[in-house]
Amino acid sequence: MTTTTTAIIDLDLPGATISRHVYGHFAEHLGRCIYGGFWVGEDSPIPNVRGIRSDVVSALRNLQIPNLRWPGGCFADDYHWRDGIGPRDQRPRMVNSHWGDVVEDNAFGTHEFMDLCELLDAVPYVSGNVGSGSVQEMSDWVEYLTRADDSPMAALRRANGRDEPWRVPFWGLGNEAWGCGGSLRAEQFASLARQYATYSRNHGDNDLYRIAAGASDADLHWTETLMRSFDDLAADPAEPARPFQAVSLHYYTMTGTWSDKGDATEFSTDEWYTAMARAQRMEELLTRHSTVMDRYDPHRKVGLVVDEWGTWWNVATGTNPGFLYQQNTLRDALVASMHFDAFHRHAERVVMANIAQTVNVLQAMILTDPDSGALVLTPTYHVFAMNAGHHDASALAVHLRGVETRTVDGSELPLVSASASVKGDSALISLSNLDVDTDRTIVLDLRGRDVVGHEARALTASALDAHNTPEQLDAVAPNAHDGVRPHPRGLELDLPAHSYVTVSLDLQ
């Protein structure tokens, strides 16, 4: 059975810019994300550049990765940056108490991370230690990274082999301060955030964009408390927000509870729809937190940074439960596509987002096989690649008509998700069919500009739990989609069941 839906898009009415930084990534010292993922060491038989795995860098460069968040996560508030500088054989060891209770040798530290960002051509996003660190420790780290003269920290950086400072605009003031980052109350952390922001200084022309650790899920009180702590946000719209510039939000998609999150590959049709309904909640969370922020920040000076999002399933059988390794199926890909649609619709407020995490952890882009060394691109990786045209484009409103819904946990889940953007003479439309069984015909009612060319790509598979492995690298991979036809109102598109499709338009 096939049903028809109409998507009305005014191509001549661009909205807010979709920052490329909503396609950001996250690399925590967790499981095999850093060690065995990004970092293999200079003596590894796996091809590398100064210890950084070459094929991982190449794959992420192909995504045009805009930024990378490090060193955590929960790990950030246990991390003391001075332990990760200087000769590697002289660095102290540490216990990663959050993730597996393993001992790390600090081989991957500040210089290695900045080298990685340069190889990726990605903007670094450094998460500072508020939970167990000090104001001076964070202030010194900013100086070490970004100051150019002969200050004490700049001299220390030069002694460790780096003459010129780096540009590090994005700076996190703690992580999950309500939990692993200190178990603080909102009022406690708001005061600390002001203090740490004050001493995280701009050096030279490196202007910091300070991001205060924000709420989990629907904790609107946390967001409101942080918003109350700002200086006068109603002043001149051209004046930046002070003392920090953004607050964060964390939300994970799962079908069960924190103690039993659901299986990554063995799931029922009902669990598929539950995952989609839970992913749809991101739209609600962005709306509610933005409403609170609008009350205090009418000029929208303060950014909302969703710097942890994605699916969180039970760990793969036989793996270390503290390493959070899970497979990544077609279901994960559609969860990602729904999130991006929500981020696009909230482009005026959402300035950055970071999927958790980049390699070998949670909803990863890349899986590396510990035995063969093979690299696997996940279905989620392909959603990022197919959406590259949205980077720094202007959001276009998509008005859907005739969308069927399914009742899930007492709420209605629309079975089609969509967003669009325009940049110059190009536009990109992203469409997800969440229906397990039903193909759809989408009439793209394109108004305001002439379409002189189009190209479509589709990501789907015969099985809902299809995923890529070293033996089947392309079980879920995008292909050219020829199901697009002229229509009196624009284009008509075949949208297969459980699929993600993008349509690129050439405009006049």
List the catalytic residue out of 28, 112, 176, 224: 176
Residue 1 has pLDDT above 60, yes or no: no
Phi, psi of 259, rounded to the nearest 5 degrees: -85, -25
Average pLDDT score, the chain = 97
For residue 374, pLDDT beyond 80 = yes
Give the containing element (helix H, strand E) for 123.
Answer: strand 123-128
Domain map of the chain by residue range?
2-11+396-507, 20-392
pLDDT digits (tens, 9 = 90+) for 269-325: 999 999 999 999 999 999 999 999 999 999 999 999 999 999 999 999 999 999 999
Q: Which of 28, 143, 224, 308 is catalytic?
A: 308
Query: Distance (Å, rounded) from C-alpha 434 to C-alpha 501?
Result: 12
Give me the amino acid identity at 369. D
pLDDT tens digit string along 463-508? Answer: 999 999 999 999 999 999 999 999 999 999 999 999 999 999 999 9
390-436 pLDDT tens trace: 999 999 999 999 999 999 999 999 999 999 999 999 999 999 999 99
Measured in residues, the chain has a length of 508
CA quadruple 181, 70, 312, 253: dihedral positive or negative?
positive
**Does the annotation count 176 as an active-site position?**
yes
Cβ neighbours around 335 below 10 Å, total: 25
CA 150 to chain centroid, in Å, comes to: 36
Digit-coded pLDDT (tens) for 115-156: 999 999 999 999 999 999 999 999 999 999 999 999 999 999
Count CA atoms within 13 Å of residue 229 on its CB side: 25
* pLDDT for position 318: 93
**Alpha helices of 355-433 — where are they, by DSSP H?**
379-386
Topology (CATH) of 20-392: TIM Barrel (3.20.20)
pTM passes above 0.85? yes
How many angstroms separate the CA atoms of 39 and 28, rounded? 12
Instruction: Find out whether the peptide bond into 71 is cis, omega within 30 degrees of 0.
Output: yes
Residue 439 to residue 404: CA distance in whole angstroms: 12
Fold of 2-11+396-507: Immunoglobulin-like (2.60.40)
Confirm whether 308 is a catalytic residue.
yes
Interval 260-279: pLDDT, tens: 999 999 999 999 999 999 99
Give the residue carrying structure tokens 């396609």: 23
Whether 274 contacts 255, CB under 8 Å: yes
State the pairing for strand pair 170-173/209-216.
parallel
